[in-house]
Amino acid sequence: MLGHRSPITPRLHALSVTKRLSLPRLQTYTKASAIIYALHALQFLAIPETFISYNFDVTPDAMHVFIARGSGLTCAGVAYAMHKFDIPLKLLVAYNAMIGLVYPFNAAYISKLPVKYPMHYLSQVLTAGFTVAGVLAL
């Protein structure tokens, strides 16, 4: 019975191929998410007034800057965790979706803050795009 393959063998092969194909997608999604959070962290920490002014029609005061810098530190921690630790894809996609809902979509449509278009669209498209890309990668 040389060359005989059991019916299980093709399934195992397909599973191993699927795992090999999904790993780069996970790594790419994780790396892209970490980069976006790191860039936001840098902006919140280094240029909070500019970052706020780009997205909102307000003049940031000391309280805005204080909160932005704290958010920057949080974003930096999240970016580091995404880069360093093995975070499950489902958790990462859920987190990106929640960030999109809590920040840009909440600001524009729920809290009705004075968002500044077209710049605020970037945040909305970015978070929605990352959520859709993550769902497709699952």
- The pLDDT of residue 61 is 96
pLDDT for 20-33, tens place per residue?
445 557 788 899 99
Distance CA 107, CA 120 (A): 9
Higher-confidence position of 116 and 137: 116
Q: What is the pTM of this model?
A: 0.78
Number of neighbouring beta carbons within 10 Å of residue 104:
21
Tokens of 127: 């978070």
Q: 31-57 pLDDT, tens per residue?
A: 999 999 999 999 999 999 999 999 999
